[in-house]
């Protein structure tokens, strides 16, 4: 029996009942099907796509069209998971009009249930504008990879009292602006715990400790399909790369030795018909 679609109310209820929310990224149909069949609550089509699928050095170059293409593939594989499309760099910063228009494309053209965007208090009015258009927004604060250069690199945020206070204020402003959930990336566990306790909306951590209302990992990190760099917060549950390499090497050897395909992979023809040729 297929599960019912996960709703924002259920995510909120999970927080209230102290049940953890699960989130994993997906960028294609087969992965989306696996996550959905396992019962992952929220499936994020992250702009981490830029790194782990498209091979870019950062998330900055990925475009709206690339994000929508991958969101559509994910949506085709999902029945019940709540799908969040990640708004790429400069798709929401230029103006509220542009932000609403682009957010709308994730919903109308790509089958997403919500969008995610990076930024703190400065982005609150943008979140408000998108929410006013009827589109649920997940916020993302702490280490915000799209603007990592402004943060002087991929560093833990909120380590001193001043920057921690800014993050506390950002979370409050984004909540008031109508965000239904907030991702915390790379902030001290004490701070994540404190903000999670203060907020009514659920928080999702990645490198933010165990007290967030839920956790997210990038699929390719979780299953060992990306080895260019591995942040401290990643837990690899399986290392698929060597297993896949071994399988491909066996296939290569079989083809080269004439062992594949065997008769069981081939189609026969009636001898009578063959003789007519
Ligand atoms: O793009 C992404 O995968 C993300 C998660 C790391 C939260 O933003």
Considering the domain architecture, whether residues 171 and 250 belong to the same structural domain is answered as: no
CATH of the domain at 115: 3.20.20.60
Ligand 1: does its nearest atom lie under 6 Å from the Cβ of 86?
yes
Ligand 1: does its nearest atom lie under 6 Å from the Cβ of 206?
yes
Note if 162 is an active site residue.
Answer: no
CA atoms within 13 A on the CB side of 1: 2
Which has the closest alpha carbon to 74: 43, 50, 103, 102? Answer: 43
One DSSP character per residue, 197-250 reads HH-SS-EEEESS-TTSSEEEE-HHHHTT---S---TT---S--HHHHHHHHHHH
At 249-277, the pLDDT tens digits run 999 999 999 999 999 999 999 999 999 99
Considering the domain architecture, whether residues 202 and 268 belong to the same structural domain is answered as: no
Judged against a pLDDT cut of 70, whether residue 158 lies above it is answered with yes
Q: Has residue 2 been placed in a domain?
A: no
Considering the domain architecture, whether residues 263 and 172 belong to the same structural domain is answered as: no
pLDDT recorded at residue 3: 80
pLDDT recorded at residue 15: 98
Considering the domain architecture, whether residues 71 and 198 belong to the same structural domain is answered as: yes
Percentage of the chain with pLDDT > 70?
Answer: 99
The model's pTM = 0.96
Q: Has residue 84 been placed in a domain?
A: yes
Considering the domain architecture, whether residues 61 and 141 belong to the same structural domain is answered as: yes
Q: Has residue 3 been placed in a domain?
A: no
The band of 137, judged by pLDDT with boundaries at 50, 70 and 90, is very high
Considering the domain architecture, whether residues 261 and 156 belong to the same structural domain is answered as: no
Ligand 1: does its nearest atom lie under 6 Å from the Cβ of 46?
yes
Mean residue pLDDT across the chain:
97
Considering the domain architecture, whether residues 191 and 248 belong to the same structural domain is answered as: no
**From 21, 25, 61, mutation site for ligand 1 pocket: most ligand atoms within 8 A of C-beta:** 25
Judged against a pLDDT cut of 60, whether residue 1 lies above it is answered with no
Domain of 126, in residue numbers: 8-239
Considering the domain architecture, whether residues 58 and 166 belong to the same structural domain is answered as: yes
Give the SS3 label for residue 120: coil
- How many Cβ atoms from other residues are within 10 Å of residue 127's Cβ? 27
Average pLDDT (129-150) is 96
Q: Which helix (H) or strand (E) holds 146?
A: none
Atom of ligand 1 nearest to the CA of 86: 1
Considering the domain architecture, whether residues 204 and 257 belong to the same structural domain is answered as: no
Write the residue with the smallest CA distance to atom 2 of ligand 1. 46
Q: Has residue 158 been placed in a domain?
A: yes
At 82-127, the pLDDT tens digits run 999 999 999 999 999 999 999 999 999 999 999 999 999 999 999 9
Rounded Cα distance between 187 and 159, Å, is 7
Which has the closest alpha carbon to 20: 3, 36, 1, 42? Answer: 42
Considering the domain architecture, whether residues 171 and 271 belong to the same structural domain is answered as: no
The band of 152, judged by pLDDT with boundaries at 50, 70 and 90, is confident
Ligand 1 geometric centre to CA of 83 (Å): 13
Q: Has residue 1 been placed in a domain?
A: no
Q: Burial letters for 166-188: b for 16+ Cβ neighbours within 10 Å, e otherwise?
A: ebbebbbbbbebbbbbbbbbbbb
Atom of ligand 1 nearest to the CA of 145: 8
Considering the domain architecture, whether residues 146 and 111 belong to the same structural domain is answered as: yes
Ligand 1: does its nearest atom lie under 6 Å from the Cβ of 85?
no
Write the residue with the smallest CA distance to atom 8 of ligand 1. 46
Considering the domain architecture, whether residues 247 and 232 belong to the same structural domain is answered as: no
Counting the structural domains of the chain, the total is: 2
């Amino acid at each position: 029996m297929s599960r019912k679609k996960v709703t924002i109310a259920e995510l909120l209820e999970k927080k209230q009942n102290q049940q953890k929310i699960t989130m994993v990224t997906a960028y294609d149909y087969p992965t989306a099907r696996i996550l959905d069949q396992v019962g992952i609550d929220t499936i994020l089509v992250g702009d981490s796509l830029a790194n782990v699928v498209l091979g870019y050095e950062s998330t900055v170059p990925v475009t709206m069209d690339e994000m929508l293409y991958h969101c559509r593939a994910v949506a085709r594989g999902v029945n019940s998971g709540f799908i969040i499309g990640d708004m790429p760099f400069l798709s929401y910063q230029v103006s509220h009009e542009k932000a609403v228009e682009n957010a709308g494309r994730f919903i109308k053209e790509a089958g997403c249930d919500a969008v995610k965007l990076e930024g703190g208090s400065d982005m609150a009015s943008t979140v408000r504008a998108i929410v006013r258009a009827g589109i649920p927004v997940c916020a993302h604060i702490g280490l915000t990879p799209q603007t990592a250069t402004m943060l002087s690199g991929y560093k833990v945020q909120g380590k001193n009292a001043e920057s921690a206070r800014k993050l506390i204020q950002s979370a409050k402003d984004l909540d008031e602006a109508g965000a239904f959930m907030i991702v915390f990336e790379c902030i001290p566990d004490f701070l994540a715990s404190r903000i999670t306790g203060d907020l009514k909306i659920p928080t999702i951590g990645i490198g933010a400790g165990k007290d967030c209302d839920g956790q997210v990992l990038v699929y390719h990190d979780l299953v060992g399909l990306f080895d260019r760099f591995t942040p401290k917060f990643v837990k690899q549950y399986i290392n698929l790369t060597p297993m896949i390499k071994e399988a491909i090497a066996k296939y290569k050897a079989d083809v080269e030795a004439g062992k594949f395909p065997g008769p069981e992979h081939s189609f026969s023809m009636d001898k009578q018909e063959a003789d007519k040729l």
